[in-house]
Structure 1
Amino acid sequence: MVPRFLQKAAKNIVKEAIKEIQKTLLDTFKDIILGQGTLDRKELGQLVGQIDKMTGEEFEEFLSICFKRLGYVVKTTPKSNDFGADLILINQGNKTVVQAKRYKKTVGSAAVQEVVGAIKYYGANNAIVITNSKFTSSAYALARPNGVELWDREKLIDLILRAKTMNQQ
């Protein structure tokens, strides 16, 4: 039997190693988006597959990189008490609040409710909920009358491609 203090030390070492690997992955994604050249279908598939493995915070940072590449001023909100927004995008005087949901399952109406609250709190003109997954029908039903855009996996891929294309212009 392994002593408890050794188990704890081993867990901490593994956690730190995972953090380092995730940081390296995020740096790699940043290089892909900001670098020259195009993404072929296979590379894009691999990139999206890695997004599925990100933490929520890494997903937010990745989205921030993409939106900055598209010319937005991007502000991040506090990790807790964010009042329903993870990112605030500013472009040509318009302010958009973004709720980022890196999920394995479908995203429900709670995410829409959160970002609707963020519109007023942050004085935004628009709101987007972005996920690497899909949305439930109740999320769509609530988003429509509240003017919230829902960006699913397909729109996320489009965002990545648009951000990447900015390098060629």
Structure 2
Amino acid sequence: MPKEYKSNPLIFNEQMNPFDYEQYCALLLQNGGWDAQATQKSGDQGADVIATKGRIKIIIQCKLYNTTVGNSAVQQVYTAKKFQEAQAAVVVTNSTFSKSARQAAAATGVYLTHHIQLVATANKIFSEKN
């Protein structure tokens, strides 16, 4: 009998629960030198992770998907960026982004990235905004 999968925020797995994925993304950023915390599970205004370094604050929405991520994620994180008075907003996923998400991101300045590139994207933002 196969062992039942147990979600762990320290190890990426497509079967992990979405809250552990948020923790996983926060840990990636922490390991990359950012002060990053996953937010509470509700009332976060679209911010799943808030990362700061120096005077730069980034709002991150994490999407653990097995389909493409649509433009609603871009709209939500853009709103969260304004609400949190942050310098940048990112949608991070294990998947890909729809054409409409890419168009919305281009119009709003929201960054789209795979979690493998999350720290590099955050550091790019830091360099651009600092």
- The 1:122–1:141 alpha-carbon spacing in structure 2 relative to 1, beyond 3 Å, is same
1:112 aligned counterpart, secondary structure: helix
Structure 1 stretch displaced more, 76-85 or 132-141: 76-85
Whole-Å separation in 2 of the counterparts to 1:71 and 1:124: 18
Whole-Å separation in 2 of the counterparts to 1:83 and 1:112: 12
Correspondent of 2:92 among 124, 130, 137: 130
Deviation at 1:160, TM superposition (A): 7.6
Correspondent of 2:9 among 13, 23, 26: 26
Structure 1 vs Structure 2: percent identity of aligned residues?
A: 33
> What TM-score, normalized by structure 2, do the two folds share?
0.82
CA-to-aligned-CA distance 1:33-75 (integer Å, 9 cap, x gap)? xxxxxxxxxxxxxx5xx2x111110100111111000111112
Count of residues in correspondence between the two structures: 118
2:9 aligned counterpart, secondary structure: helix
Gaps of 5+ in 2: 121-130
Gaps of 5+ in 1: 1-16, 30-46, 162-169
- For the pair shown, the structure with the greater C-alpha radius of gyration is 1
CA-to-aligned-CA distance 1:98-131 (integer Å, 9 cap, x gap)? 0000011100000000001001111100000000
- The 1:150–1:159 alpha-carbon spacing in structure 2 relative to 1, beyond 3 Å, is closer
Match status 1:61 vs 2:23: yes
Structure number having the greater helix percentage: 1
Pairwise CA RMSD of aligned residues? 2.0
